[in-house]
Every structure is written in structure tokens, then in C-alpha cells.
Amino acid sequence: MLVDLPGGWNPLLGRLAWSQIPYDNPILAPLFVAVVLGGIAIVALITYYGKWGYLWKEWLTTVDHKKLGVMYIIIGLVMLFRGFVDGLMIRTQQAWAVGPDSSGVFGALHGYLTPFHYGQVYSAHGLIMILLAATPLLVGFMNIIVPIQIGARDMAYPYLNALGLWITAAGAALIMASLFVGNFAHNGWFGYAPIFEIQYSPGVGVDYWMWTLQLLALGTTLGGINLLVTIIKMRAPGMTWFRLPIFVWASLSANIIALTSFPALQVALGLVAADRYLGAHFFTAGLGGNLMLYTNLFWIWGHPEVYFVILPAFGMMSEIFPVFSEKPLFGYITMVLASFAIAGVSWLVWLHHFFTMGAGPDVNSFFSVATMLVGIPTGVKVFNWAFTMYRGRLTFTAAMLWAIGALFLLLIGGLTGMMLAIPAINYMVHNSVFVIAHFHSMLLVIVYAVFGSVIFWFPKVFGFKLDEFWAKTMFWLFTTGTVLVFVPMYMLGFMGMTRRLDYVFNVHWQPYLLVMEGGIVVYTLSVFAFFVLLYVSIRDRVKNRVGADAWGTSRSLEWLTHSPVPFYNFAVTPHVNARDEAAWRRANGIAGVQPAKYVDIHMPNNTAVALYIGALTFVLGFALTWRIWWLCLASLVAIIVLMIVRSYRGDPGYIVTAAELERMEREAIARERQIDGSAGEPVVGGAPAVGRPAMAYERSDLPTTSTPPSMGPGARH
Amino acid sequence: MSQAQHGHHGGHGHADPILHPEVQMSSGRGYFSGFLISTLLMLIATFLVSSHAAPPFGLLLVITVCAGIATIAQIYFLLHIDISEHNIWNTVSLVAFIPLFVLTIGLTWWMFSQLYLRTMPPMPGMHG
Amino acid sequence: MSGHASNTPDPKTAVLWDTEYHGHDVISTRSLGFFLYLLSDGMIFATLFAAYGVLSYQHSYFGGPTPADFVKPWYTFSQTIALFLSVLAYGMGMTALKRRSRGGLINGLLGAFVLGVLFLVLDIHDVLDLAAHGITVAASGGISAFIVLTQVHAAHIFFGLLWILVMIYQVLRLGFTADTVGRLLSLRMFWHFQAVVWVFVYIFVYLWGYMS
């Protein structure tokens, strides 16, 4: 052993021992029982309905970007729920343990969580929410939507796509394992030196944290490469750069950030691993280690990362606003430029996360000004969304409500961000809950955009709409919860409450904390509303079926596919003629025109290798955490062997013949005609569309608006 | 735009892979030039450093220039970074990344040299 | 290059579906993705260099040995020669591929392999020698940075060598398919990239360390 390990270690099991399982923890022990029972119930149900074959063939071995995207979103939603429960636990502890007279249960002096456990709860909460909830949700959407928005049949690397998903799943499994075997880290979600050194964190918690992050970093990097190459190389003919849907531009700029910044995270954590496993002195207190170096390296990743998650959310908002304003996006080109400006500037600002660490006024000033510069392109976006809505015909569907809510949260979060950018203010509120409220406002922009997108694109992926009433109920409950939790939090931040307190010493803060606890209760109600939404929507799915253009006012290319999207996306590659192709075709009455003939297409095969490698990365992460060296080596070798075998065998793919395509297409068109009766005749040429309500910009009885740019001089008004 | 490239190759490997421009752009002369330039520059740098031919700061400048020229030669000859149609995206990506390398190293260096100025006692032999 | 919306074709005659579109070029799609991965790898090295820069100040060595004490420039120069020759050998292999010479390609790959192994042997010998003198990562922050940065590069060489072996096997068994040729191109980029990184490691870690 290269480091002195407290606690035992044996060659077979590493640091793993029965004592690492928390039998006597009053929260975890019942939870474990519940999880096991739930797991058994799920396995039993699948077996009873005989669905193992279906699961294996359609989901576990798929390389279809749509299914992989759905699985990413499922992981994201499940982990969002787990992260939410962590948040609930934090709120409850803080509402309870206020003042020296507050009671304590379960071995805690105050409240119900000991500091040791509370530290793990907020560390897990942060890590899960950012990297296992927000990121997979966004990556899932990018996976589903980008290929169909550019007219491609799949991503550039379908197998790599599957690999990225299963590695992400492995990361999720690893952090879930930390609940029941060993502990999690207590150094916050981003870690501090030297508390994560072996001397101060002798347990496995920090190791779980490190390897989970490494797995997620790997998965995201692979996904980033995939998306970038897809957008560069696989656009349909006629899809020039300035006809790209705005969500694709957002994905492009976001993944440039991902590709450039995740390596810094891998190095930062790798060096922590060197300290903990090899006895190095990168970040130790003493022997030449540098504590601030860790913070620096981490935030070189950490800041671009938050822009990596917000840019797709902005892209989603940019897709939703035009559809429900019945107007094209205002200022398309400035939106694109703003996205790249944000991506570029995001690389210049990372020190604002540690203004107080001592770099001095010159350095602080540079980073402060750079941080404030980011507000300019963001402001451009806010104004463009507002101008998109201005004089449009607004429909306040649930998706639109979520998007508008996101816009308001962006205003609050963005403005408080500008405040935090000023070192003089930052020194006052650094590490207070003001910072927490700020970044939660920003992260809620993402959550709102994601929920809006779920409602917006659900009909495209699954073929039926979600129930509007329950979607709106969920929105209002969620928003009420947001206000109740975060407005008091801003106030508490100004009053000086620091973050991560497991015991709140100032009883004057209790009223605010109780209001926040009420907010969490309202959030919980919104979660119930979500489950009701799913139940009701699935129950009423036949009633809510939709055709290709689910909302009637959709604009971009993906709305030309059938709903649900067939596995081949487009039977024949579309030729793109305008920005907002679907809107252009609909306005010119050619939305229903089908291809005159079909040709054979080439699709990739399913593969189990991605699943196996993903599972092996979980084993590797687990073995590294528990220092089971033989298992580390074995799983690493197995991964390499599988990669080599897979590369040798390759994938010739399979052909879908033109005849099969034509048959599937005829069925889909017949189904659509049955649903909304507006599918065009299946011939090529200028067959006129069946009548449909005029768009806002086409009606002569309304006050004139500016001519939408997608309507060129040749188009009908 | 994407269908304009490699039109005569088609997709799915129907064409002969050897005829692909990325294979055809290999050049023995290019590889040898890259090798020669970088090796000679490393030789010069090693010779100057091991014989302590100049004071440290000037020496650092010289070997940095050696590294810079060697890198440019290798990037051009070995990595085929140019503005031809089939290399353009590689070039664009590299050009996008280089400022980030500079920023990561440069801003970190600035940050810590300022930090050390403010927090460390003055020490002889401290690097610039 | 950019299609402005005012170039929208006449809807009555516009092409709506393209049956002639044959999709993306498999080889260049693979190469671009791999090059992007290499750039992210470059970012790993840039971050390691940033860490090394911070930890190369006098106080990071905690009074212990510094690179000026143990770096042997001419020894490391021999590593440089080995690596650059290996890169050249691979390049020659690729020109043989251009001429459809399977034998030439295999020879190039074997040459690259042998010279790469030589590089690694020299490197490992150096590290073991340092360890024997107590110069390990546990000695100080500065030494940690020195060793980790140089050995991360060596680890890349190790995996590259493994890949070269796999490619020799694949070319012998599968011949020149789009996939094997595509992989050879990726490996060429990888291998040549290691030479570029080595220039920085050699100049700024070994030589500069020796000077300080």
C-alpha cells in the first residue's frame, strides 16, 4: 500500500467489510429494505408480463438516439427525485435545529441528522442535481432532438452514444451504492483541500465522490464529441448553418464548452486520487502541496460546466416561445452570436468562485469584469425572447408557462449573479445562502426549461400529449414552492446566514426557515401532481393522440416526422429549404407532401457491448473506491478486451428495404389522417394542403407585424 | 454543405478507403521534415541547457522559441493542420482550443504568482 | 456558405425529399471525432501543465530534491530520439498504406512499436532509478507534479502501443477496410499528437526543471 489506510484492508475485499453497511442507521436501514422490496417488485412485474425480451431488445441494447435520450431523461428524473429528497432533508434539518433549545433525535444533538450525515446529504444533493439530474436531462433532450432537427437518421456514433448512456448509468449506480455500502463524501459537492485528503477523510466517501464524477465526466465528454460531429457532418441537404434550428446552435455551443472543460475536472479529480491513492502531495497541507490549486483546477471546469447546462436550456426556451407566440424567433442571428459569446466568455470567469481566496485585487478585477460581460449576451437573449412574444398570438399552454417562468427566474438569477460578480459584494455574501439562492435560481431556469420541453416534445416522442390541466397544476405548485423556498433564502443570505449549516444558531431566522419548509411541502405536492399527470396522460393517451405537427403552430424540422418518431426518423432524407422548415412548408401548403419514391436505408444494429462496458465501469469505480486491486485490474482488462473485440467485429448494420419503408410510412400516414385529417396526398409536387386556421402573421385583420424572416419573397402571405 | 464533400466517395464504404483524401495526404517528405525540424530543435535546446550557455531567463526564452517552432512544424507536417477542405474542421477545432490552453495555463500562472507575492515570504530563486 | 432565408426556393418547385443523399463519409466522420477527442486530451495536458506551473516554485519542493538535482538532459534526449523516430516510423507506415503496401504498413507499425517500447523502457528505468533514491510522489508537491505529468504522457504511449499491436492484428486479418483504415488514421493522429505533447513535456518539465 502506498498510503497509510486507517481501517482494515485485505487483498480479496480491499476496504470492504460488513461493518461498512449501516445496519443501525434509522433512516438508511428502512430505506434499504424499501429499495430491495421495490426492486423485487419491479423484477416480478417484468417477469409476470414476460417483458424481459422486449426490454433487452428495445431498450438495453439499443443504439437508437431517441431511446437512449429517453433513458437519459429517465435517469435524470429519477435522480432529480433523489436529489429533491436530499434537499427536503436539508430543509427539514435546518427548520428543526434552530437555537440551543431545539430537540435532537437519532443521535443528533439538534434536529435529526448528525453533522457527519448532514455533510453527506448536502454533498450528494449538489452532485446529484447538477451532474446526475440536470446534465442527463439536457443530454437526453439533445440526443433525441438534435438528429431529427437536422434531418439525420441517427447520431454520428450510435454505439458511442449507447456507451455514454451506460457509463452515466454506472455513475448513478455508484452514487446510489454509496447510500448503502460505506459513506459518501462530506466535503461539499465540489470539494475542498485538504478536507478530502486521506488524513481528514479516511473513509471511502471521497473516493465514491471522485469516481462517480470521473465516470460522469467520461460519459459527458463522449456525448459531447458525438453531438459536435453530428451537427458538423450530418446535416440534411439544404440545412445550411443559418437554417439550423436554434436548439441545435445551443447544443453546439454547449458541447464545445463540455469538450473543452471536462478534461480539467478529470485532472483535478485525478490529482486528488494521486494524493489519496499514491500519497502524492498536490493538495496536502504541507510538504509542498497547494490548497488553492485544487479550487483553481476544479473551477476551470466548474464555471464552463454551468454554462454547459444553461445553454441548452436557453435553446429549449428559444424553441418554445416562437411556437406558442406563432411568430418566428426574434433576432435569430443575434441569438446564435449570443450563445457563442456566452460560451467564449464563460471560459474567462472561473475565479469568481473564489474571489476571497487571496489572488489579489488585480486578478479579482479582471475576473469580475469578465463575469459582468456575460450579462450582455444573456441580456440580448432575454430581450429577444420578449420581442418574440411581443405582438404574437400567445397561447398559454403548460409548456409556455414553464418557459415564461424560466424567463423570470433568469432575470432574478442573472441579476443576483451580477451582484455576486462584484468582489466588494462577494466578500460580504461569499459562502452565505445568498449564493445558494442565486445558483438555485439559475438551476431552476434549467428545471423549468426541461419541464417545459418535456411537455413540448412529449407528443413528438410518444405520440400523445400530456394532460394540460395536471401539467398546469404541477407548474403552479412548483412555482409556489420556488417562491416560498428561495425568496426567504435571499433574505437570509443578506442577514448573514452561511451555507451548509447543520445547526442554525440564530433563532430569529426560524420564521424564514419555517416558510422555506412550507415551500418544500408545496414542492412535494408538485411531485405528486407530476405522478398524477403521468397516470392521467397515459390513461387518456388515445384521446390525446397527435399527428406530425402536434401543436399546430410548430416551426422546426422535427415536426415533419411522424409522432411517435419511427426508428428511422425520416423515411427519405428531407431537403431543407428554409429556416423553420416545418412552418415554411405548412405556410405554403406543402406540409403533407410525401416522397414520391423510397430507397433502401442502412441502420446500425443493436449491441450489448455498450451495456457490458457500462456495467464494467461501475465495477471499476466500485473496486477503485474500495481499493480491491485485483478487481480494478480485472475490470479494466475486461473493458479493454471488450473494446478490442467490438472493434474487430465492427457493425455492418442492416438494410431496411424501400418496400418495408413504404409500408411503414403508409401505416403512419393513415394513422395521422385518422387523427387530424390534415395529412396531404402521398404524391410529390404542389398538392395543396387541407384548410387550416391562418397564422397570426398571415391574417389581414390584425395589426401588422414585421415580416417574419422565414417567409421569403417567394412565399405566400 | 455536407453532401458537397467527398461526393465521389459516397457513404458506407462503397468507395476504396485508400483513395480517401486523409490517406492520400500522407507524405514521406512531410513526415521526415517534421521529424528533422523537431529533433534538431530539441538537440539545440538540450545542448544549450546542459552547457548552461546563457543566464536562466534568456535560456528559457530560447528554449521556448525552440518548442514553439518545433510544435508548429509538427502541427503542420505531422498533424496535417492546414486549410484544405478535408482538414478544415480539424484546423478550426485546434484554433478554438489553443486560446483555452493559453488561458488555462496563463491565467493560473498569473493568479498564483499574485497569490505568492501577497502571501509567501520573499524567497531567493523563485521562478518568474 | 450561409443560406440566408431570402434565398428560399419557390415552394411549387422546391425539392422536399432527397433520395440521392448518400449520407456522411464514414472515414472523415471518424477522424473528426477522434481529433476532437485528442484536443480534449490536450486540455488534460494543459491543465496538468497549469498544476505543474503552480507547483514548480521553490517552496513546493519542501526543501527536498528538485528537478535540477536529478534531471539528466542527455538521457531524456535519448527518449526524445526514440519517440520521434517512432513517430517517423508510423508516418512511413502510412505512406506505405497510400501505396497499398501491406508489408510496408506492417513494417512501419512494427518500427513504431519497437521504438515506442524503447521510449517506455528508458522512461520506466528513469522512474525506478528516482524511486530508489527516494524521489517519489510522496516526497513533495513539486515532485508529485513532475512525476505525474511525465508519467501521464508515458501512460498515453503505453496505451498507444497496445493500440498499435491491435492494429497490426486487424490489418493482417481484415485487410484495408473503411474501418481499419479509419482506425489507422486515428492512430496516426494520436501518435503524432504524443510527439507534440512530448515537446512541451521535454522543454518545460525536463529542461526547464534542470535549469532552475
The interaxial angle of helices A115-127 and A205-233, nearest 10 deg, is: 10
Which residues numbered 56-75 in B keep a CB inside 8 Å of some CB on A? none
Residue B42: inside a domain: no
Total of domains in chain A? 1
Residue B101: give the domain boundaries. 87-128
Residue B96: inside a domain: yes
DSSP state of A574: B
Q: Which residues in A lie closer than 8 A to residue C6 (C-beta atoms)?
A: 712-713
Q: Give percent of chain A with pLDDT exceeding 90.
A: 83
**Number of helical H runs and strand E runs in chain C:** 7, 0
The yes-or-no verdict on residue A714 having pLDDT over 50 is: no
For every residue of A18-81, DSSP letters joined together read GGGS-TT-TTHHHHHHHHHHHHHHHHHHHHHTT-HHHHIIIIIT---HHHHHHHHHHHHHHHHH
The string of pLDDT tens digits covering residues A179-189 is 999 999 999 99
- A: neighbours with 3+ CB pairs under 8 Å? B, C
What is the pLDDT, as a whole number, of residue A683? Answer: 44
The string of pLDDT tens digits covering residues C109-153 is 999 999 999 999 999 999 999 999 999 999 999 999 999 999 999
Total of domains in chain B? 1
Contact A716, A610 (CB under 8 A): no
Among A232, A347, A358, select the one facing B119 at the smallest CB separation.
A358
Residue A127 burial (10 A CB sphere; 0-12, 13-18, 19+) = buried
Residue A406: inside a domain: yes
The string of pLDDT tens digits covering residues C40-73 is 999 999 999 999 999 998 889 988 999 999 999 9
The string of pLDDT tens digits covering residues A337-389 is 999 999 999 999 999 999 999 899 999 999 999 999 999 999 999 999 999 99
Distances (CA, A) of A454 to A529, A567, B126: 15, 20, 56
The reply to whether B93 touches chain C by the CB within 8 Å rule is yes
The string of pLDDT tens digits covering residues A502-516 is 999 999 999 999 999
Element of type H or E holding A656: strand A654-656
- B120: closest CA of chain C, how far (Å): 9
Torsion over CA: A306, A312, A316, A322 (sign): positive
The reply to whether B62 touches chain C by the CB within 8 Å rule is no
| C19 pLDDT tier (thresholds 50, 70, 90) | confident
Among B39, B64, B74, select the one facing C196 at the smallest CB separation.
B74
The yes-or-no verdict on residue A687 having pLDDT over 70 is: no
How many Å is the Cα radius of gyration of chain B?
Answer: 22
Among B17, B120, B127, select the one facing C27 at the smallest CB separation.
B17
Residue B30: inside a domain: no
Contact A432, A481 (CB under 8 A): no
The yes-or-no verdict on residue A691 having pLDDT over 60 is: no
Residue A402: inside a domain: yes
Closest-approach residue (CA) in chain A for C56:
A288
Give the mean pLDDT of chain C. 92
The yes-or-no verdict on residue C165 having pLDDT over 60 is: yes
Closest CA to C181 of C23, C30, C22: C30
ipTM: 0.94
Mutate to test the interface with A, among C8, C49, C170, C186 (most CBs of A within 10 A): C8
Do A363 and B100 count as a contact with CB atoms less than 8 A apart? no
Residue A688 grid coordinates:
395543396
Contact A33, A112 (CB under 8 A): no
Residue A242 grid coordinates:
443559418
- A147: closest CA of chain C, how far (Å): 13
CA triple C189-C194-C196, angle to 5 deg: 95
What is the pLDDT, as a whole number, of residue A592? Answer: 83
The string of pLDDT tens digits covering residues A327-338 is 999 999 999 999
> What is the rounded distance in angstroms from the CA atom of residue B1 to the CA atom of residue A579?
15
What is the pLDDT, as a whole number, of residue A677? Answer: 60
Residue B107: inside a domain: yes
The string of pLDDT tens digits covering residues A577-620 is 999 999 999 999 888 888 888 999 999 999 999 999 999 999 99
Closest-approach residue (CA) in chain B for A576:
B1
Which residues numbered 25-54 in B keep a CB inside 8 Å of some CB on C? 26-28, 30-32, 34-35, 38-39, 42-43, 45-46, 49-50
| CATH annotation of C25-57+70-211 | 1.20.120.80
Among C73, C84, C94, select the one facing B38 at the smallest CB separation.
C84
Do B2 and A360 count as a contact with CB atoms less than 8 A apart? no
Among C9, C40, C47, select the one facing A221 at the smallest CB separation.
C40
Look-up: residue for cell 480534449? Answer: C40
Mutate to test the interface with C, among B44, B92, B105 (most CBs of C within 10 A): B105
Do B103 and A347 count as a contact with CB atoms less than 8 A apart? yes
- A663: closest CA of chain B, how far (Å): 25
Q: Which residues in C lie closer than 8 A to residue B78 (C-beta atoms)?
A: 87, 91, 192, 195-196
Among B97, B100, B115, select the one facing A292 at the smallest CB separation.
B115
What predicted TM-score, i.e. pTM, was given to this entire model?
0.92
What is the pLDDT, as a whole number, of residue A112? Answer: 93
Do C11 and A684 count as a contact with CB atoms less than 8 A apart? no
Closest-approach residue (CA) in chain A for C50:
A297
For every residue of A352-417, DSSP letters joined together read GGGGGGS--HHHHHHHHHHHHHTHHHHHHHHHHHHHHHTTS-----HHHHHHHHHHHHHHHHHHHH
What is the pLDDT, as a whole number, of residue A708? Answer: 44
Residue A151: inside a domain: no
- B75: closest CA of chain C, how far (Å): 7
Residue A37: inside a domain: no
How many Cα atoms are found within 13 Å in the side-chain-facing hemisphere of A406? 31
Closest CA to A80 of A446, A625, A487, A475: A446
Closest CA to A264 of C101, C44, B1: C44
Residue A575: inside a domain: no
Among A300, A357, A363, select the one facing B110 at the smallest CB separation.
A363
The string of pLDDT tens digits covering residues A635-647 is 999 999 999 999 9
The yes-or-no verdict on residue A143 having pLDDT over 60 is: yes
**A682 vs A409, more confident:** A409
What is the pLDDT, as a whole number, of residue A704? Answer: 45
B-to-C residue pairs, Cβ atoms closer than 8 angstroms: 181
Among A240, A290, A296, select the one facing B1 at the smallest CB separation.
A240
Cβ contacts of B101 within 8 Å, gap of 6 or more: C42, C43, C46
Distances (CA, A) of C121 to C107, C124, C148, C152: 21, 5, 17, 15
Mutate to test the interface with C, among B1, B9, B74, B102 (most CBs of C within 10 A): B74
Closest-approach residue (CA) in chain C for A650:
C179
How many Cα atoms are found within 13 Å in the side-chain-facing hemisphere of A695? 27
Do A351 and B104 count as a contact with CB atoms less than 8 A apart? no
What is the pLDDT, as a whole number, of residue C49? Answer: 96
The string of pLDDT tens digits covering residues A282-309 is 999 989 999 999 999 999 999 999 999 9
Mutate to test the interface with C, among A256, A269, A575, A656 (most CBs of C within 10 A): A575
- C123: closest CA of chain B, how far (Å): 17
Residue A541: inside a domain: yes
Look-up: residue for cell 521534415? Answer: B33
Determine how many CB atoms are found less than 10 A away from the CB of residue A494: 13
Do A359 and B115 count as a contact with CB atoms less than 8 A apart? yes
- pLDDT per position in chain B (128 positions), as tens? 444 444 444 444 457 889 888 899 998 999 999 999 999 999 999 999 999 888 888 999 999 999 999 999 999 999 999 888 889 999 999 999 999 999 999 999 999 999 999 988 876 544 54
Residue A419: give the domain boundaries. 395-558
Among A256, A360, A602, select the one facing B114 at the smallest CB separation.
A360
